[in-house]
Structures are given as structure tokens and as C-alpha cells.
A and B are shown apart, each in its own frame.
Chain A
Amino acid sequence: MKKWTRRAFITTGVITGGALVLGVAIRPGNRARKVKDMIAGEGETVLNIWLKLAADNSITVIVPHAEMGQGTHTTLPMMLADEMDADWKTVKMLEAPGDKQYANYALARGFIMGEKDFPSILLGTIDGVFLTATKQMNLQITGGSASVRFTGMYAMRVAGAAARAVLLKAAAEKWEVAEEELEVKDSYISHKESDRTAPFADFVAQAAELSQPAKPRLKNADEFKIMGTSPPRFDIPAKVDGTASFGIDASLPNMKYAAIKASPVFGARLVPLPDDAIAEMPGVQKIVNLDNAVAVIADGYWLAKNALNKLDIAFEKTDNDTIGSEDIYGQYLQDMDKALAEGNEEKDIKKGNAGDALETAKEVIEAEYRVPYLAHATMEPMNCTAVVNNDGCQLWVGSQNPLGFAASVAEALELDTENVVVHNQYLGGGFGRRAMPDVAVQAALIAREVDYPVKLIWSREEDTRQDHYREANISRFKAALGENGKITAWNNQFLFKHDPEEAPHIPYDIGNQFIHYANSETHVPWGWWRSVDSSMHGFFTESFMDEMAYKANKDPYEFRRAHLTNAPRYLKVLEMAAEKANWGAALPENWGRGIAIHKSFDTIVAQVAEIEIIDGNLKVHRVVCAADPGYAFHEDGFRAQMESGIIYGLTAALYGEITIENGAVKQSNFHDYKMVRMNEAPVIESYIIKSDNWPGGAGEPSTPGIAPAVANAVFNASGIRIRELPIKNHNLSARSMKLG
């Protein structure tokens, strides 16, 4: 392996064609030189791969993440600009090209290494290793609530501070004064004693000759000027006048449109259709047979869709043609029992001896919870525009993982990845779905058959039935209570484990814990779904915790508090939610209040839901949400994410259900896969606790807690315990005996 030396990764500037590229510290190799042609315009200076400075002193921050409404195109530039002491009014944003130079090395490092503070000398080496690793993994992912936590903290802030440092040094040399006497404010450097002030742009040429520090000093929170505020998001103006360009809006000369139908039973092969199946259909150009799907190309999408509907499409039989959701649950239970009996399951947490504690307990409280499959249902159906010619393949698509898309398409077309270019567009919702490259591969395979660009659009039915689903799951609990009303043992068995790692873990002070899981193979494709495993475990653990509270004859809030004495950070969040929700205050008849707390992606969120059951119908009136993300870099953006995650999770809690019937998904569109709408949306209040812990995520952590908060509120109002989602399947008019 090549050895990295300090000289190898601290490089100096290059001047080409009037524009100037400043050395890239923080990473080996002169990546600025490589990326200059991709991002720099006339007279612009690429300071490092994350920013460029124009002659008018304006700054453009290059963001390697997709914008899907989470605000990353604004928050990441804020982090860089603040460290640089830049004038926010002159800061612009450019999304990084889908190129390996922008692989998320910072993100990978964050995931693998956590927040360890590396010695300066190692930084280049470590980042070099991770850059290599991320390139090999083809990572340029937007997901895992990770943009701020990793790219922001490891790349943006460091890049901003490093740029500031070399500009200061250059100014000091040019003015022949001591660096310490200089001040930086709003993209200007000044020297008070000699009464001189000049813009950053004046020092760029000198700065280019200097090496950027690998580990510049970063600001403390009390020095932040831009971070922690809420400037208007860059992407919003284009989203109110119709000009924002989403994947579906890509438009190329001579472009035609394709509709597609893939096998409803996952994995079934298409019985190929003859070319003349579309004969005598005006405006319809071509039929394309793929392994498991058939596509029709026409002059317009409506023509393509109608032609597809007229075709007699058949798929080969498979072993999965008769499988239904109940069969899958049956298989799950078998596999869970078998894994337990044979002792070959995966152990997640083993603490104390839960087995012994349960054996000797006076009473063991047991419960089994279930959740169904869920589709993502992004507002913008999957789509991709592709052109394939001798130069390779170009794609216009909204992607959470452009490099991964390029790699998958390259593999399908047998091209080099370098010959596949992804032009990333705004994403009409991501939620994990747009990390999957399936639609891009289809579009490329279809476009390969013709000599014009093709825009492939999935119907909503296709989008619902060809998703990569949040899996259905079962979670079984056994627990016991001690004399003092505290839980003595907690045994939890479920299926599958993806991420986040902490999803099934509980913060509660319980000495004997055994958390374990089995695996069970199904033919239903799996995908990351907003908050991933936490989308289930929040419901499982916090509902069962509620059951234990009632069993102990304790108030559910006080019961949790009593188990959080060793977890002050959680306690603070829980207490804030309860206080703001006026926990304990009397409620009208048929109203209920429920509480839940869950940590995911390093952000702790507690929620209190206030509900009413009106003639058997559930109305969620109000949700109070308290969150500790460590620090919220864009406060309004963080609040917006809390609201968004709650509504997303509420839709799943109330209505979300994908059923498998005869091997295929039964639901098809918004009439049978319902969404929470304006008239059902609760009032949401969000409170942020800045605890100065390492920043947690924003996009996902509010989703897991809403289902248990609402389900616990239903119990509080009616005595009906919801052990299976969605709540719509429960009869809430049959009032059960209310406890307490």
C-alpha cells in the first residue's frame, strides 16, 4: 500500500486559465485540481473542493448531498460560512457533481469511527483511507440523518476554517503585519492599526501558495454567528413558482416517454411480448422487454401508459405466487421459535441474567407486537431520464446516492462507471426510497434500445407495488416487576437488524436485559424507510414500557422517570415534553394522553400525544415534541424536520399497511394506501434542547416516537392496547375496561 506522507497530502495551488485552485489540505492528492473543471466558472477560484471564491468576493459552497426538503443545501453552507467568517448574504450553494471526488468520506468516517478526535498528523492519512473506502463503496449517500453530523462537522466546518486560516496568513504576509492583529468579518479582512480593510478575494492568489492546515481551530458554540440561526432556505423560492427542477422535469431534445410494468410477484420473469404488440397504436414507438418488466415508449407519457394498459402482459410462475402476509407472519414465528430453541439467534444486548430473573419472578408479563410492511410513497413517483450512446450513459434523476446509481447502471450496461454521468435533480421526497437505483437501471436499459433520450415514469400503482419495503416484523417481550415497582428483567426478541444500531435498545435502568433477534428470509424487497429499524422499535419498546407502567400501577411518565435516573439527558427531554404538554392535567371524556421517548441517529426525542376517540374514530389533536439533537444548526429547519417526521410516522401509525396477497402487494394508490391529510394533522409544538453533545440527526428521529405516543394515548382514553399497527384496523368504539 502506498504510504501517505504529510507532504503528499498538503499540496499547493495551481493556476490555470486565469482561475486559481488552492491547495487541498485535509485529504491526500490534489483533488481541487481534479474537480476544478467540474465546478469552477470563469474567474472563480476553487479554494478547496468544498468552496470557491469569485472575483466579486462571493462564496459558493459545494454540497455533496441531495436536497429533498431537509434543508441540507442551506445548513451545510451555513456551517462552512460561519467558520470562514463569511458574509452570509454573498454565500451561494452548488450541489456537487456525482463524481468520486465527492464520495462522502466524511460520512463514512463518521459512521465507522464515531466522533473520535484525531491527532492532526493522522488526519490526512485517515481521511485518505476513508476516501478510498467510500470511493470503493460508491458512496455519495444522503441518508442516515447524516449530512450535518458527518459532512457538516468533518468537511464543511473544517474547510471553512482552513480557508479562513490561509486567507489570514496571506493577508498578514501581504500587509507585513502579524496574523494575530488581523480581524475577519463578513468576508473582509481588516487591520485596525493601519486602518486597512480588504475583501477575501484580494488574498486568494497568495493564499494559493500556502498549505491549508489539516486541523484548523473550530469555533465554540458561543462564537457562532450563522450556525444556530434560521436564514431562509436557498431552495424555497424555486419551489413556490414552479421552476424547481425535479427528476421528472428533465427535458431533452427529441425525448420520448416510457411507462413500465414489472412483475407484481417480486422476482417473477416476464413472458416477452412480440414487437408488433403495439402495432396500430398511434404515437407509440417501441416495446422493450426486460427480465422482469415490460416498457412501452411513446411520444407522450399518457400514450405510453394507455398502450401499456392495453397489452396482454404475463409473468412466469414462481414459488411465491401464493404467499400472503399471514404466511409471512407464520414463518416469522416459526423462525423465531426455531432460532430460540436451537440457540442460533443473534444476540444484541446481554446484561445481567434476564433468564434467571424471569424464572424466579412472581409474575412474567408478556406481549407480542406486530407491524406490517410499509411503502415510502414519495410524492414524486420514481422516474429517470436516460440517454445511452457511444459516449456512455447520462441520467437525470433525483437520487440519494448518485454514485451508487452510476455504479449500478454501469454494471447493467457493462460500462465503466466513469462513462455513466448522473445529473442529480431535486428529489420529490426521498425517505430512503431514492437510495435504491432500480428505476435508473430500468431507464438505462430502455434507452439503450433507442437512439433518443427516454423519460421513464412509474405510475403511482407501480411506485406502490415495486417499492423496497420497511419490513413487517414481530417483537415479543417478557418482563418482570420488582417490589419497588421497577422492572427487574427485560427480554425482547424480534426479527432482523439493520440500522440505527441503537434502535431496539432501551435507555432504562434495568439490570437484567436480553435483547436478541432471528432472521427469516422472504421474497419481499427491503429498503431503508425513514428512521429504518427505529420506525418499529420505537413503537415496540415504548408501548411495552407503557404496559409495564400500568401493570405497576404507575403513571407512565413517572414510571419512565423512575427508570431514567442514570440517564440525565433522556430525563431532561422527557421532562420537557411532559411539562410543555401539561402532563397530568385533567382531560375531557374520551380524551387520552400518551408519552414516548426514543433515541435514533443520536437525537433523543420525547413526544406527548393528545387524542380523542369520537364515535370510534381517532382524532389526534396535539403533539408536543421535545428533542435534544446536541445542537440545531438551523433551528427552523430542525423544527420543520420534527413536524415532518411526526406526520410521516403518524400516517404509518394510523393507516400504513402494505399487505402481501398471492405474492404481490395488494395496495396500489392513495385511496387504499392512505395518507394523513390537512384535516387530520395535529397541532405540533417542538422544543429544542441544546445540550452541546455531538450533533444528532434531524430528518428521522421524530418518526419513531409518534406511534407509541398515540397508541399509549388510545390506551389512556379507552383501555384498548394497540399491539399491532396500523390503528385503523382496531375497533375503538368497543371500550375496554379502563385501568387506573
Chain B
Amino acid sequence: MKISVNKVVHEVDVDPATPILWVVREQLGLNGTKFGCGIGQCGACTVQLDGNAVRSCLTPIQQAVDKEITTIEGIAPSESELHLIQQAWIDEQVPQCGYCQSGQLMSAHALLTTNPNPSDEDIDLAMSGNICRCGMYSRVRKGIKRAAVAMNNSATTKIMNDEEMD
């Protein structure tokens, strides 16, 4: 079976019903995506399928064929840079144990991609599927808001640069 993960195509030989979680972790060695509950309740396993946040512990790999899987290892623009959301997470010192944070970041990334200026209610809606046992919810919220500002500024800069090019 051919799957594309973080824009790299892989050939994997697994039961098509295998959840994406175990394929990326065990077959591809992408350990950033975490196992938490196995029933889609905690969000630790969140990845994106064509940009939408999905629970990889419940989503069979066959559903990813002809689609793009993005994991925490795939959101930074390059190996030497962080995504602005990741930088915001460092600036706000969001993680404690950190185990849920790949999932938090993937949910936050999907939110900000579709909604550049989320309200508190938008954040509640998008993020309430991600449990943080260390209780860092207020920092996740701050992280999202800081990232939103940074991403909007960066988008504005890009538009200005593009206009100058014109």
C-alpha cells in the first residue's frame, strides 16, 4: 500500500485496517504521534488527513490512501526551523510532561489554518477533544493566540513582499 506522510511517499505492508497511529509509529518510526486511549477520546494521537485533524488511533490506514497524512514531524517549514505555532508553544512555555502536545499542536495547527483569528469559543470547540492531564489549557490557549498573531503578521509580510515583487 502506498501512503504519503509529510510529503514523502512510503510503501507499507500492513493490514489495511491498521490504524494510522501504529503505521506511522511502528512502520515509519515517526514517534511524535502518541497513543493515549485508543477510542478517540483524548486527542494525543491527532494527525491531519488532507489538513483536517483526525484521531489516528481510530482511522484505518486504508482511508489515507490518495490523501496526505501530516504528523507533528511534518509541520515545520524546514529541518532547521520551527513552525510559528511551535515557536509560540516555546514562548508561552506550554508543555509540562509534553505527552499530549503533539496532538494539541496538530489540532491547533488545523484550527489556525482554517480560522486565523479564533475566538475563545472557537478555541474551546477545536481543542476540547485534546486532554492535557497536566492541565496546561490556559497556556495552550495563550499559545494559539500568540501563534495567530505571528501567523497573521507573517502572512501580511508575505503579501507585502509579493506586492513589491509585482
Residues of A within 8 A of B (CB): 68-71, 232-233, 235-246, 248-249, 251, 257, 300-303, 305, 377-381, 426-431, 457, 459-460, 636, 640, 643-648, 650-651, 669-671, 675-679, 681, 683-684
Contacts and interface: CB of A to CB of B under 8 A. Distances in A.
A671 B129 CA distance: 12
Contacts of B95: 69, 235-236, 239-240
Contacts of A670: 37, 39, 41-42, 131
Most buried by A among B97, B137, B140: B97
Nearest to B21: A302
Most buried by B among A240, A676, A681: A240
Interface in B105-132: 105, 123-125, 127-132
B133 A379 contact: yes
B154 interface: no
A251 B132 CA distance: 25
Contact of A239 (B76, B101, B130, B139): B101
Contacts of A431: 133
Nearest to A233: B93
B159 to A, nearest CB: 27
18 contacts: A238-B98, A240-B89, A241-B32, A242-B30, A248-B34, A301-B26, A302-B18, A379-B44, A379-B97, A427-B97, A428-B98, A459-B38, A460-B36, A644-B134, A675-B131, A677-B137, A678-B141, A681-B135
B86 A69 contact: no
B59 to A, nearest CB: 12
Contact of A648 (B32, B36, B133): B133
- For the complex of A and B, list the 8 residue pairs with the smallest distance between their C-beta atoms, beginning with the closest: A242-B32, A647-B135, A69-B96, A428-B99, A239-B98, A69-B97, A242-B72, A681-B137
A297 to B, nearest CB: 14
B31 interface: yes
B48 interface: no
A524 to B, nearest CB: 22
Contacts of B96: 68-71, 640, 644
Nearest to A377: B133
A460 B39 contact: yes
Nearest to B127: A678
A237 B90 contact: yes
Interface in B5-38: 14-15, 18-19, 22, 26, 29-38
B138 A684 contact: yes
A69 B94 CA distance: 10
Contacts of A305: 38
B99 A246 contact: yes
Nearest to B103: A379
Nearest to B107: A678
A91 B35 CA distance: 33
A232 B99 contact: no
Given A676-B135, A681-B137, 11 more contacts: A68-B96, A68-B97, A237-B90, A241-B86, A300-B18, A378-B97, A379-B132, A428-B97, A640-B139, A648-B135, A679-B128
A301 B86 CA distance: 29
Contacts of B99: 246, 378-380, 426, 428-429
B18 A249 contact: no
A379 B135 contact: no
B128 to A, nearest CB: 4
Interface string B34-58: 1111110110100000000000000
Most buried by A among B15, B35, B86, B90: B35
Contact of B93 (A241, A243, A303, A636): A636
A165 to B, nearest CB: 33
A426 B19 CA distance: 25
B135 A643 contact: yes
B29 to A, nearest CB: 7
B133 A675 contact: yes
Nearest to B88: A240
Given A233-B93, A678-B123, A678-B140, A644 B19 contact: no
A245 to B, nearest CB: 7
B130 A678 contact: yes
B36 A429 contact: no
